[in-house]
A = this chain, B = another copy of it.
Amino acid sequence: MAKMKDVAERAGVAESTVSHVINNTRFVTPATRERVLRVMSELNFHGNAHARRLARGHSDFLGLIISDIENPFFPGLIKSFESSALAGGFDILLCTTNYDAARAEAAFRKMIENKVPGVAVMTSRVDPSLASVLQRNDVASIFLDSGQVAERTSNIRIQYSQGAEQAVAYLHNLGHRDFAFIAGPGNRSSHAAYKSAVVGALEQLGLEARLIDGENSVASGERAVQKLLTSRKLPTAILASNDLTAIGALRAFHRAGIRVPADVSVVGADDIPFASLTNPSLTTVQIGNERLGELACQKLLGMLRDSDAASELVLPTELVIRESTALAAH
C-alpha cells in the first residue's frame, strides 16, 4: 500500500506538503495541490478518511434528512445532531421531505450535489434503496429503523419492545384489562414496529387491544376517541402511536366530560416537550430524540474517521410515568 512518502516522492514535494494538502493546514499553490491530489489518486493513497474526502472534494457539511420540522419530535433531534456535528468540525445541511417521495429524492440529490461526506436519514418514511445512490457517490449514511441495507450504511433501530412492555405491565398492575390502541399510519416502519411491540406485550399477558386507525396527529386522536365513545363500553386504558395522538385523545375526553385518569388512562409515545405540559401531563413511552440525534451523528463521524465500521445500533425506549394514568376504573 502506498505511503505518504511515496506520494511526496512522486509529486516531487516534501512529505509535509502532502500533509498540508490533506489537512488544509497551510497554503499550497493550486498547481502543487492538484499534483499532490492526482498522485494520491494514482497511487490509491487514502491515508485516512479525511484525505479521501478531500481528494474527492467533499464538503464540511453533514447531511440531515428529516420528514417534518413541525413534528415536535424533530427539533430536539436536530439540535443534538447539530451540536455533535459542530463539535466534530462539521456544519449541518438540513433537508425535509414533508412525507413526499419527490422531495425525498430531491433531498438525496442535494446531498450529493453539495458533496457531503455523510448523511443521517432520521425519518423512517424514506425508501432505504435511495441509500445506493449515496453509496455510488461515496457518501457514508445512517438510517432510522430501516435495517442495514448496504455495506457502508448504518442503522439505528428503536427498541420499542422495552417501553411497550413497561407500559403494558404498568397498566396491567393498575388493574387494566380492557385496552385500545390508536395506531399510526401502517406504511411507516417505525409505527408498524411500535404497534407490534404493544400487541406483543399484551399477548404475553393473554390480552388484546381494540385497534383503531390513526395518523399520528392531534385530530386523529380526537377522532379515535369519538369513535370509542360510540362503542358499548369504553376501554379503561388507551395507548396511542405518538404523543400528538394521545393529546388529541385527552382533548376529546375533556370535551366529553370523561376524566383522565379517573375514568380512563392514556399513554402516549415519543415524549415530545409538551407531553409534560398537558393537563393532566402525559404518561408516555419515551423515545430519546436528543439521544437519537447524538447517536446518529457520533456514528457518522466514526464512520468518516474510519474508526467505526457501518453497523446497527439500538436505541432503548422507556416508560415515563406522569399524571394521565391511574388505577383502572371499575
Contact = CB atoms under 8 A, between A and B. Distances in A.
A44 to B, nearest CB: 27
A96 B78 CA distance: 11
Contacts of A96: 79, 82
Contact of A76 (B70, B82, B110, B279): B70
A93 interface: yes
Interface stretch (A6-14, A270-278, A306-314): A270-278
A78 B74 CA distance: 13
Contacts of A301: none
Contacts of A79: 68-70, 96
A228 B72 CA distance: 31
B69 A72 contact: no
Contacts of A273: 70, 72
Nearest to A96: B82
A67 to B, nearest CB: 12
A93 B94 CA distance: 7
A91 interface: yes
Interface string A274-293: 10011100000000000000
A329 B46 CA distance: 75
A118 B92 CA distance: 18
Contacts of A93: 93
A52 interface: no
Task: Give the interface centre of A68, A75, A76, A251 by most chain B CB atoms within 10 Å.
Answer: A75
Count of identical protomers in the assembly: 2
A85 to B, nearest CB: 12
A250 B279 CA distance: 9
Contacts of A254: 279
A62 to B, nearest CB: 13
In the A-B complex, the 9 residue pairs with the smallest Cβ-Cβ separation, listed nearest first, are A279-B279, A69-B75, A70-B75, A274-B274, A94-B94, A69-B79, A69-B78, A254-B279, A247-B277
A218 interface: yes
Interface in A45-88: 68-70, 72, 74-76, 78-79, 82
Interface in A232-277: 247, 250-251, 254, 273-274, 277
B218 A277 contact: yes
A119 B188 CA distance: 35
A76 B78 CA distance: 15
28 contacts: A68-B79, A69-B69, A69-B78, A69-B79, A70-B76, A70-B79, A70-B273, A72-B72, A72-B75, A72-B273, A74-B75, A75-B75, A79-B96, A82-B96, A91-B95, A91-B110, A92-B94, A94-B94, A218-B277, A250-B279, A251-B277, A251-B279, A274-B274, A274-B277, A277-B278, A278-B278, A278-B279, A279-B279
